[in-house]
Structure 1
């Protein structure tokens, strides 16, 4: 019986971690040849986390039984009124108040919020990694201070950043002035830090290559522990640009990411908050009145777009313009040429698509939260990635939607917009290998 079979046969009395990797002490493929990651994007809530968000997280964990969860930024809605006293609009502007007592109040509120949405993971013994978006820091705490709070939670794989790498907090140097089709910027070889352990993660044998808050690399080994099969690179992709719009990772962060695959001897997939401009390569220009037409964002606002079905997988949908930096900072070219087979982003709450451009798998994941805008409540989702040892650089992925896993939301507070793009009934695969009770009932009602 494989570890995954054992997990599937888990009973209520079984106190072992739900994560097979947690049972084995490190991130690795199972004897079944599989390894699973669950992405949670844009939870984006205040101290009182929506019950439906927690229900979705818990249900997705139970359905997917992932080895690891990756939060890809904007967990904290820093603009929430609860954080008004210490609100910070941009990382280069001062907070409304820097009085120690005010910051301590915010710190305790954030600590409570983190405890609330990580509780399902802690209860099930699932380790997790965290990066940041453009709203987390707005509560008044820096990404380094947020990192410290996450590290106090059992299961956290974030480690103390490398002090020799000159890592920045916020990882945003502003938009580069080169157009999207500019030649890639040259990247030097980063002097890789000594791998560290993550004491709170529960993975006693796991190596973590640190760089800065929300930026580090996690190697994943084969079942025999003879080699690293792939690398999960978690990256702080920046927040805002002083020139306007969204920012990008700074050059030192890109140097670190560029050096990761060679240093570990395995190809990598990057998980971050912000999409890159090349996500528009998965779209096609359409007339404004075309079915499902979506206006582009900022630098792309003069045109309307729809998904290019020849470049995206079945079940993909486009619900808003891709909110990427105005200018290409060279990240995509670096990933493409530096040994990366995939890039996974959140940020755009109403987009859920998977495609490929220039040999790089590109993934957009909608919000899993109910505290901000997004698709209809039943379409809010976590995203499951299943890696197979036979072809580890071609993972299968599936959105685990609230409507299928949980049913109807308990609250009508979440505000939504219709998904404008014409899309199929469902994605092209079911990684759970079984239909939920709710999905079976919905199928009967459609007849």
Structure 2
């Protein structure tokens, strides 16, 4: 049976790659050109961002991830979708990367929702970030670009949001490549000095264009800033923690700084080096918070001691992974929504939603999670059955029900 499954997988992969070979070539090789799409507060003065962290899949997107992406877009109706790194998990060629993105981004394209991305530590382990970015930019609703190719990393950029009347820039979004691995010091990488210099220069230009007033903003990146470790403690409180064998204690977020209900199920994994990112943000004064992924089972908001120009805290906003291919926990696996209000631009509201919040708790959802994990090979076989010329979809449904029933007895 195992040999048969492997043969089916190999056949489907080969057919998919052959079909992919006829796909459209790069729309452009220039990675610095901004999209012509304009982000704008709606007539009610609202703007919504939907974040997906660590979708991290390949050509055959897990059905649970696919459903979560599709239904979240339909449910929350965002003005922008942001993918915050480890967007795909490519083990082979550039063609695989291209097809993996097609499987993921089709839901944004179908919904005609603008989207952008930052890269994580896994995206470019096999295929370069530049190649990934070229593939991203083939899509009509993609807004990602590389603001300055001389900077450390790839695709660090910003996106402005116009006021509801379209007359001014009301808000700004920073997209930072937090890079991959620190070759000099070991561990994960961080936001480098040249990236922060670009940030300050761009922030100053926005301020000048805004009549001398700072433009409030939120930052998105994959790896959380180093300072998160200053806001953990041992013991128990309203947040969920993890057990640290070295400390022989339960580690939680400090209740004096975190939002109630925050979840810390694993040790945060910031960069080895503190590059001074939050210090730079505080000196400039325009960033309300840093939104991250990377740590798949952590979900929290921490109010740091770093302040904006309006004396509000610069928050660390961590979102659990949305994907099923890599590790995760269904208690937190999901998405994050960030809402902006034009009448109070120096504030924001945010809430994370689990896959059950989005998809419900019925049998269909449990089937999706099963076929996204242990039953994934069977799900691929069912997709092959769907292609049969006679009653394919019906037979595939019978097959899935039979497999799931046997697995859950």
Alignment TM class, shorter chain as reference:
0.7 to 0.9
Does residue 145 (structure 1) correspond to residue 131 (structure 2)? The answer is yes
CA distance in 1, matches of 2:166, 2:197: 28
Q: Please say if 1:217 is aligned against 2:147.
A: no
CA distance in 1, matches of 2:148, 2:240: 49
The alpha-carbon deviation at position 158 of structure 1 amounts to: 1.6
Contact kept, 8 Å, 2:158 with 2:174, in 1: the verdict is yes
The alpha-carbon deviation at position 301 of structure 1 amounts to: 7.4
Kindly indicate whether residue 121 of structure 2 is the aligned counterpart of residue 167 of structure 1: no
Structure 1: runs of 5+ lacking an equivalent? 1-23, 84-105, 172-212, 417-447
1:116 alignment partner in structure 2: 103
**In structure 2, which of residues 152, 168, 171 is the aligned counterpart of residue 230 of structure 1?**
171
Aligned partners of 1:387 and 1:393 also within 8 Å: no
The reply to whether residue 282 of structure 1 matches residue 266 of structure 2 is no
Please give the TM-score of this superposition, normalised by the length of structure 1.
0.66
* Distance in structure 1 (CA, Å) of the matches to 2:340 and 2:186: 38
CA separation in 1, counterparts of 2:54 and 2:109?
20
- Separation in structure 2 between the aligned mates of residue 238 and residue 25 of structure 1, nearest angstrom: 27
- The one of 157, 173, 191 equivalent to 2:143 is 157
> In structure 2, the residue corresponding to 1:70 is in which secondary structure?
strand
The superposition leaves residues 83-125 of structure 1 with CA deviations (integer Å, 9 ceiling, x where unpaired) of 2xxxxxxxxxxxxxxxxxxxxxx12211111011111110010
Instruction: State how far apart, in whole Å, the 2-side matches of 1:281 and 1:259 are.
Output: 29
Alpha-carbon distance change, 167 to 301 in structure 1, aligned in 2, over 3 angstroms:
farther
Say whether 1:334 aligns with 2:334.
no
The CA deviation at 1:281 is: 2.9
Query: What is the aligned counterpart of 1:57 among 66, 69, 90?
Result: 69
Contact 1:370 1:413 in 2 (8 A): no
For the pair 1:362 / 2:348, whether they are aligned, the reply is no
Task: Please tell me whether the aligned partners of residues 56 and 325 of structure 2 are also in contact (alpha carbons under 8 angstroms).
Answer: yes
Task: Give SS of 2:282's match.
Answer: helix
Q: What secondary structure is seen at the aligned counterpart in 1 of 2:81?
A: strand
Q: 1:349 aligns with which of 296, 306, 310?
A: 296
In the superposition, the TM-score normalised over structure 2's length comes to 0.72
Instruction: State how far apart, in whole Å, the 2-side matches of 1:260 and 1:302 are.
Output: 46
1:182-261 equivalences in 2 (<5 Å): 213-242=154-183, 243-261=185-203
Structure 2 Cα separation of the partners of residues 360 and 285 of structure 1: 23
More helix by share: 2
Distance 1:324 1:379 in 2: 20
Query: Structure 2 matches for 1:21-40, cutoff 5 A?
Result: 26-40=38-52
Is the contact between residue 40 and residue 367 of structure 1 (CA under 8 Å) also seen in structure 2? yes
Aligned twin of 1:412:
370
Once the two structures are overlaid, the 10-residue window that deviates more, 245-254 or 228-237, is: 245-254
Residues 291, 75 of structure 1: alpha-carbon distance in 2 compared, 3 angstrom cutoff: closer
Matched residues in 1 for 2:223 and 2:369: separation?
29
Contiguous gaps of at least 5 residues in structure 2: 1-35, 208-214, 306-312, 375-409
Highest CA radius of gyration, 1 or 2? Answer: 2
Q: 1:364 to 1:255 in 2, by over 3 A?
A: same
Q: Does structure 1 conserve the Cα–Cα contact (< 8 Å) formed by 2:240 and 2:263?
A: no
User: Shift of the alpha carbon at 1:214?
Assistant: 2.2
The alignment covers a number of residue pairs equal to 316
**Which of 260, 265, 269 lines up with 2:218 in the alignment?**
269
The answer (yes or no) to whether the contact 2:146–2:157 under 8 Å persists in 1 is no
CA–CA separation in structure 2 for the residues paired with 1:393 and 1:40: 23
